[in-house]
Amino acid sequence: MKGFHRDPLAHPEELIGHVYAYAAYRLGDGHDAEDVTSEVFERAIRYRRSYDGSKGEPLGWLLGIARRCADDALAKRRGPRDEPEPEEIAASGSVEEDTVRRLTLDRALAELSERDQELIALRYGAELTAAQIAEVLDAQTNAIEVALHRALGRLRRILEAEEAEAAELFGSGRV
């Protein structure tokens, strides 16, 4: 992310990719993530004079806005609408293996706390380093590294539990 000195929105394409990937991790791939990405850039244009290059890179600033937009979108989603039922996963053949794995991962991610989800979205969605995440969340880098490690541990345990459950179901022939 070099070359951003004065205008934080001088190279929007790359930034859009990162913001979208973060939003997609928090809200799921599709229209919601696109809406949040558009909202982030709308606010960024409006308030871009408040961007201070000495405080960090434009991506960190944009992700700070994106966090708020994603929280708002999640709050709206939880409001009048009922929580959507988790999709049934049918492990039928190798062609659908990738989709099934992705859905399993999404379901496991949804079971994590909001803080863990955010950390994973920033690390694996927006591709930030622990130091950059610490900048966005205003925390110590070490604390972020430990929190990320723990979040991954929790995610792994959820996936293990789901696999054990699936194995039990297959074993008993209930699928």
Binding site for other proteins (CB under 8 A): 7, 9, 12-13, 16-17, 20-21, 24-25, 29, 33-34, 37-38, 41, 43-50, 61, 64-65, 101-102, 105, 120, 123-125, 127, 152, 155-156, 159-160, 162-163
Task: Name the packing angle between helices 12-27 and 58-78 (round to 10°).
Answer: 30
Name the nearest CA neighbour of 11 among 23, 21, 2.
2
What's the Cα-to-Cα distance from 35 to each of 32, 42, 43, 62, 75, rounded to whole Å?
A: 5, 10, 12, 15, 15
Give the shortest CB-174-to-other proteins separation in angstroms. Answer: 20
Residue among 4 and 25 whose Cβ is closer to other proteins: 25
Residue among 77 and 162 whose Cβ is closer to other proteins: 162
The distance of Cα 30 from the centroid of its chain, to the nearest Å, equals 13
Residue among 141 and 162 whose Cβ is closer to other proteins: 162
